[in-house]
């Protein structure tokens, strides 16, 4: 497939569609995922026992506060469960889910295509490499050009021999401090973006300086910053000035942790950064709108644990549509603004240039 034929269109696991057909879009989710790289072994003896039990009703209370200390919780392997879960999003009016899985996160190309066919939902698939701790060290010797060439093949020919093509470069994983391979991965993303016109999504290192550090690398390498989104802003930058500094580079800010609400260690950083609740997220986005950045906002859930799923008492993929949108309306954010954030911004971002 030529790159020219993608201009103005989005690429799903079932093929190319018009950008206007994306509809309500979740720009950062995981339908299937191997989150082993997120796992942290607990230190207490009794908790080590919980860490290796399957997710069930006996462990859910503990998992509410220890979601990343359970090996099973981080394994979204069940295709049937995944299909049922994303149908909640469809029932709420959703049309498109972006699975940001790539190398390091257990990307399952064929399963995503099957799930898309069964559900009738558009699924856009990621490419490139997640953070260094998720990867076989054997890839660290790859050159920037080799990484870029692989991403370009994912987009133009398909992943491996599947013929199923990626529609976004990401989520490109970064640690804190940044690993040398991760810097190469960012530089490769820029090369692949220039070759294909694809958007880039970055998972910044878990530090308030993570996003701006990665942004400067991309900017200096000549990335089209209007085609770059930074994930997990609500778990990285906790000041308005810091968010404005990043947004002034022209990139998108992705509030993609809706549903996660603050209790340690639901999200972890070296300085034990607290997460905002959903209402605070809305107020922070409203401040960014007032500053003129409405067109650079994206929202999602980043579902990555079994405890996030409705079948386990979690908020699920329809949480924003069913609960956050009414919160926004009650706080004076009109339907036209919500449409911009949930439909227009993703359409512009995921349509190739």
> pLDDT at position 69, please?
92
DSSP-assigned beta bridge partners for residue 216: none
CATH of domain 18-166+252-350: 3.20.20.140
Q: How many CB atoms lie within 10 A of CB 302?
A: 25
> How do residues 259-268 score in pLDDT, each as one tens digit?
998 765 545 5
CA distance 279 to 116: 32
pLDDT for 274 beyond 90 = no
Angstrom CA distances, 300 to 28, 110, 216, 246, 278, stand at 6, 24, 24, 19, 11
Furthest C-alpha separation in the chain: 58
Q: What's the rounded mean pLDDT across residues 131-152?
A: 98
> pLDDT at position 264, please?
52
Q: What's the rounded mean pLDDT across residues 326-344?
A: 98
Catalogue the E-assigned strands of 186-227. 200-203
DSSP-assigned beta bridge partners for residue 173: 203
Question: Which of 138-142, 176-180, 205-209 is least confident?
Answer: 205-209
Q: What's the rounded mean pLDDT across residues 148-176?
A: 98
Residue 98 vs residue 57, higher pLDDT: 98
b vs e for 158-176, b when ≥16 Cβ sit within 10 Å of the residue's Cβ? bbeeeebbbbbbbbbbbbb
Q: What angle do CA 309, 314, 319 make, to 5 degrees?
A: 90
Angstrom CA distances, 254 to 71, 196, 234, 299, 310, stand at 27, 22, 8, 6, 23
Q: What's the rounded mean pLDDT across residues 158-186?
A: 98
Q: How much of the chain, in percent, has pLDDT values that exceed 90?
A: 90
| Predicted model pTM | 0.96
Q: What's the rounded mean pLDDT across residues 113-142?
A: 98
Q: What's the rounded mean pLDDT across residues 161-165?
A: 98
Residue 119 vs residue 42, higher pLDDT: 119
pLDDT for 273 beyond 80 = no
CA distance 316 to 188: 33
97, 122 in Cβ contact below 8 A?
yes
Domain ranges across the chain:
18-166+252-350
pLDDT for 5 beyond 60 = yes
Q: What is the mean pLDDT of the chain?
A: 95
Whether the bond into 171 is cis, omega within 30 of 0: yes
pLDDT for 95 beyond 60 = yes
> pLDDT at position 44, please?
87
> How do residues 180-206 score in pLDDT, each as one tens digit?
999 999 999 999 999 999 999 999 999
> pLDDT at position 81, please?
98
155, 188 in Cβ contact below 8 A?
no
129, 172 in Cβ contact below 8 A?
yes
């Amino acid at each position: 497939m030529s790159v020219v034929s993608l201009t103005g269109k989005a690429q799903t696991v079932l093929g190319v569609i018009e950008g206007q057909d994306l509809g309500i879009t979740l720009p950062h989710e995981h339908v299937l995922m191997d989150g082993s790289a997120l796992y942290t072994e607990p230190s207490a003896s009794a908790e080590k026992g919980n860490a290796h039990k399957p997710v069930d009703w006996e462990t859910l209370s503990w998992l509410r506060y220890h979601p990343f200390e359970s090996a099973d919780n981080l394994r979204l392997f069940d295709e049937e469960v995944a299909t049922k879960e994303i149908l909640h999003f469809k029932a709420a009016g959703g049309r498109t889910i972006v699975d940001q899985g790539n190398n390091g996160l257990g990307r399952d190309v064929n399963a995503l295509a099957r799930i898309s066919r069964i559900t009738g939902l558009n699924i856009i698939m990621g490419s490139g490499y997640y953070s260094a701790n998720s990867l076989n060290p054997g890839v660290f010797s790859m050159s920037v050009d080799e990484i870029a060439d692989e991403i370009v093949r994912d987009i133009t020919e398909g992943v491996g021999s599947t013929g199923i093509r990626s529609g976004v470069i990401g989520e490109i994983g970064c640690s804190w401090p940044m690993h040398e391979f991760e810097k190469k991965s960012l530089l490769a993303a820029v090369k692949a973006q220039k070759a294909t016109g694809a958007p880039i999504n970055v998972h910044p290192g878990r530090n308030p300086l993570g996003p701006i550090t990665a942004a400067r690398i991309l900017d200096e390498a000549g990335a089209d910053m209007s085609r770059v989104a930074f994930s997990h802003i609500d778990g990285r930058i906790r000041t308005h000035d810091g968010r404005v500094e990043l947004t002034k580079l022209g990139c998108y800010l992705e509030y993609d942790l809706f549903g996660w609400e603050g209790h340690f260690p639901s999200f972890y950083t070296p300085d034990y950064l607290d997460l905002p609740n959903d209402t605070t997220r809305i107020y922070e986005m409203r401040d960014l709108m007032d500053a003129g950045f409405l067109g650079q906002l994206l929202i999602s859930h980043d579902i990555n644990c079994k405890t996030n799923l409705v079948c386990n008492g979690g908020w699920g993929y329809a949480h924003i549509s069913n609960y956050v949108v009414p919160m926004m309306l009650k706080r004076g954010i009109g339907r036209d603004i919500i449409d911009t954030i949930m439909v227009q911004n993703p359409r512009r971002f995921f349509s190739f240039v």
